[in-house]
Chain A
Amino acid sequence: IVLTQSPGALSLSPGEKATLSCRASQSVNNNYLAWYQEKPGQTPRLLIYGASSRATGIPDRFSGSGSTTDFTLTISRLEPEDFAVYYCQQYGSSSWTFGQGTKVEIK
Chain B
Amino acid sequence: ELQQLDSGGGLVQPGGSLRLSCAASGFTFNSYAMSWVRQAPGKGLEWVSTISGGGGGTFYADSVMGRFTISRDNFNNTLNLQMYSLRVEDTAVYYCAKLSWYTSGWIDSWGRGTLVTVSS
Contacts and interface: CB of A to CB of B under 8 A. Distances in A.
The reply to whether chain A is a binding partner of chain B is yes
Interface of A: 32, 34, 36, 38, 43-44, 46, 49-50, 55, 85, 87, 89, 91, 94-101
Interface in B28-63: 35, 37, 44-47, 50, 59, 61-62
Contacts of B105: 49, 91
B61 A89 contact: no
Given A97-B47, A101-B44, A91 B95 contact: no
B47 A96 contact: yes
Given A43-B95, A49-B100, A96-B50, A89 B45 contact: yes
B107 A46 contact: yes
A59 B61 CA distance: 33
Contacts of B61: 95-96
A98 B45 contact: yes
A43 B113 CA distance: 8
18 contacts: A32-B106, A36-B107, A43-B111, A43-B113, A44-B95, A44-B107, A46-B106, A46-B107, A49-B105, A49-B106, A50-B106, A89-B45, A91-B99, A96-B35, A96-B50, A98-B37, A98-B45, A99-B44
A96 B62 CA distance: 11
A100 to B, nearest CB: 5
Contacts of A89: 45, 47, 106-107
A25 to B, nearest CB: 15
A100 B106 contact: no
A17 B88 CA distance: 40
Interface in B68-105: 95, 99-100, 104-105
Contacts of B37: 98
A101 B44 CA distance: 7
A91 B104 contact: yes
